[in-house]
Chains A and B, each alone.
Chain A
Amino acid sequence: MTDKKNSTILIGLDGATFSILDPLMKAGKMPCLSEFASSGVRTELASTIPPITPPAWTSIMTGKGPGNHGIFDFFRPESPGSHFLRLVNSKQITCETIWSLLTRQGFQSTCLNFPVMSPPIPISGYSISGFVTWRHLRQACYPPDLMDTLKRIPGFDLKIIGHNFSLEEKVIVGCPPEEAEEWIRYHTLKDRQWFLVLQYLAKTDPCHLSAIVFDSPDRLQHVFWHLLDNSCYPGHPTEEEKKIREFLYDHYCQLDRMIAEIVSTAGPRTNIFIVSDHGFGPSYERLFLNSCLENLGYLTWSEKPVSVEEGTGDVSMDAIRRHGQLLDWSKTTAYVDTPSSNGVRINVIGRNCKYGINSSDYGSFLEKLRKDLEQIKHPQTGNPVITRTWTRNEAFSGSELAPDLTIQLWDHGLVSTLKSNSIIKSRSQCTGVHYPNGIFMAKGPGIRRGAKVDILNILDVAPLLLYSLGLPVPEDYEGNVPVDIFDPDVLKKKPVKRGESTLPVDNLSIPSFEMEKEERDEIIDRLKGLGYLD
């Protein structure tokens, strides 16, 4: 058995950004995080292209960018070239995760609430995927009987810990003020459930690497950015707005307390890393990119009756499901299919498409499309609305599953896929959108205290975790161990080593780690001793 004393913890705060956390720390509402930052290292963490949850967390889990891990969005075409969309799942991850790699090395991991981890990948340790409804969470757990154990934890509530797609749709369609308190409290309770599971596993069967994602910062910042960001907060807030702000502050306070307990349980010999998958910032308008493409002659809307939300251009899960019916595919050459990745796809005849451009014209068509999009100007300011573009070769190693062109907007917002009579519309209120730079914080033995280091890349997180566990970094990892965060003496004693490449997913031979009866009995005895079981 590998020594578990020098363990490592990764705390993920989905969408956390210093522009929100710093004022909260300064105001004394997040004392643990404040102390963590001052006694360790803090800097920004550059996200993936695009900076969205599934590709970014998958990069953290694999040490590779989307072009090499295969996750580009929340959705994927049903089959190559299909215009119908499915949610992504773990079967689309095309490389080895850190959990599998650690299993091969004889290390145990706990992996909680990471997206795209369902169906579960057999590992040594424990895995529960995020973005799974309570009804199906049992099938998203590893080992398969983990849910039965969890149900015996006092306070465990399956209906809260599971992803509630109906409630979370407020992230897209907004939250009425009268429902704000309940919605914020729901996220506090949900985070608490994941925290409960982490602490339970840490006490009963501690792993070498324990990793958890708290997803509430992302959800709350999407909806309540105008109340969280001091620069957007109304000059004369209503009583209701003041009240909602207090609920939000209370949530962040409670999140800080959970982090404090995790840090305390881990003890001083543990390296702890706190990261977010992307940053956040304000957006006041929304770009209707499919309408832009229509104006440029690339796209024709369907004449079929398709119900389209009016107003701000936000789309719900149902509207995404209807996407396949939205366009006249015989008269469309370029389009955006999801409102969550800013990816433009091109219809190419033969790429499983009956219609579109000839494959021999692809290169020239792509360049023209890129130029046309870069020339779209904001109707009021006259400034370009698309500030950067990447082809799939530039951003995704040419992966054929990736969008043909990925764009970045002037305000880092996401485009709407819906039809609109004007290409830009104001949002009903300032909303939070994903910015490219998230947060990075580190504390532990050998980590410098209060050091200022340059921005890190999300691809550096997996190498860092392996280094922290004393393991070599696979040659094919795209990032590096951020050596600047460690004391020079530590690096001298324990230099960074590169090791063998990760295994292709088809070649993964994961040993069975089903517990023997004796081991199971021993754990049950420990649980009884800790008061978890009668």
Chain B
Amino acid sequence: MAKPEKETIFRDILKVLDKLSEDWEYSGEITPDTYVLADLELESIDMVVLGERLEENYKQSLPFAEYFSELSQRESPDIKISELVDFIYDNLS
């Protein structure tokens, strides 16, 4: 399978978020600048689940634990959707 473009990864994230969010509501538009924790009102544990679902989507393991560990070193562990896109793009084989 060819490595997807960033635009495709962004759409994949939206699809996964849409499936995950059946029981919780997010009415705003999700853009590359949307913050996962602050704007979508998710908790850090939800990011872990999001990561697992994205791995299932791409049928490959991605170093999310290392990524989240690095995020926890930052002043704010929140990330923009575009950062998530970059992380997936950089690590997909």
B-facing residues in A275-308 (Cβ within 8 Å) = 304, 306
A-facing residues in B60-76 (Cβ within 8 Å) = 61, 63-66, 68-70, 72-73
Contact across chains for A84 and B66 when beta carbons are under 8 A apart = yes
Would A135 and B44 be within 8 Å (CB), given that A321-B69, A324-B65, A324-B69 are in contact?
no
Cβ of A377 under 8 Å from chain B: no
| Size category of the binding interface on chain A | 20 to 34
Chain A residues lying within 8 Å of B22, measured Cβ to Cβ, are 138, 147
Contact across chains for B23 and A79 when beta carbons are under 8 A apart = no
How many whole Å from B29's CB to the nearest CB in chain A? 20
Contact across chains for B46 and A136 when beta carbons are under 8 A apart = yes
Nearest CB in chain A to that of B20: its residue: A136
Partner of A136, one of B49, B61, B68: B49
Contact across chains for A89 and B73 when beta carbons are under 8 A apart = no
Contact with A along B40-69 (1 / 0, CB 8 A): 001111101100110000000101111011
Chain A residues lying within 8 Å of B65, measured Cβ to Cβ, are 78, 82, 84-86, 321, 324
How many whole Å from A453's CB to the nearest CB in chain B? 41
Contact with B along A312-328 (1 / 0, CB 8 A): 00000110011111000
Chain A residues lying within 8 Å of B24, measured Cβ to Cβ, are 135
Partner of B46, one of A85, A135, A147, A324: A135
Chain B residues lying within 8 Å of A85, measured Cβ to Cβ, are 65
Would A321 and B46 be within 8 Å (CB), given that A78-B65, A79-B61, A138-B23 are in contact?
no
Contact across chains for B45 and A84 when beta carbons are under 8 A apart = no
Complex CA distance for A165 and B42, rounded to whole angstroms: 12
Contact across chains for A322 and B52 when beta carbons are under 8 A apart = no
Contact across chains for B20 and A139 when beta carbons are under 8 A apart = yes
How many whole Å from A76's CB to the nearest CB in chain B? 9
Chain B residues lying within 8 Å of A138, measured Cβ to Cβ, are 22-23
How many whole Å from A345's CB to the nearest CB in chain B? 15
Contact with B along A23-55 (1 / 0, CB 8 A): 000000000000000000000000000000000
Nearest CB in chain A to that of B21: its residue: A135
Complex CA distance for A324 and B20, rounded to whole angstroms: 28
Partner of B43, one of A82, A133, A304, A325: A133
Chain B residues lying within 8 Å of A89, measured Cβ to Cβ, are 52
Contact across chains for A158 and B66 when beta carbons are under 8 A apart = no
Chain B residues lying within 8 Å of A386, measured Cβ to Cβ, are none
Partner of B44, one of A82, A84, A304, A318: A318
Partner of A147, one of B23, B44, B68, B77: B23
B-facing residues in A49-93 (Cβ within 8 Å) = 78-79, 82, 84-87, 89
Complex CA distance for A365 and B77, rounded to whole angstroms: 38
Contact across chains for B63 and A78 when beta carbons are under 8 A apart = yes
A-facing residues in B27-49 (Cβ within 8 Å) = 42-46, 48-49
Partner of B23, one of A137, A306, A322: A137
CB pairs A–B below 8 angstroms (20 shown) = A78-B64, A78-B66, A79-B63, A84-B63, A84-B66, A86-B48, A86-B64, A135-B23, A135-B24, A135-B42, A139-B53, A158-B23, A317-B45, A318-B44, A321-B44, A321-B68, A322-B72, A324-B65, A324-B66, A325-B69
Beyond contacts A133-B46, A321-B69, A324-B66: 14 other A-B pairs, Cβ-Cβ < 8 A, are A78-B66, A84-B65, A85-B65, A89-B52, A135-B46, A139-B53, A165-B45, A306-B73, A317-B44, A317-B45, A321-B65, A322-B73, A324-B69, A325-B70
Closest 7 CB pairs of A and B: A84-B65, A78-B65, A84-B66, A324-B69, A165-B45, A86-B65, A136-B49
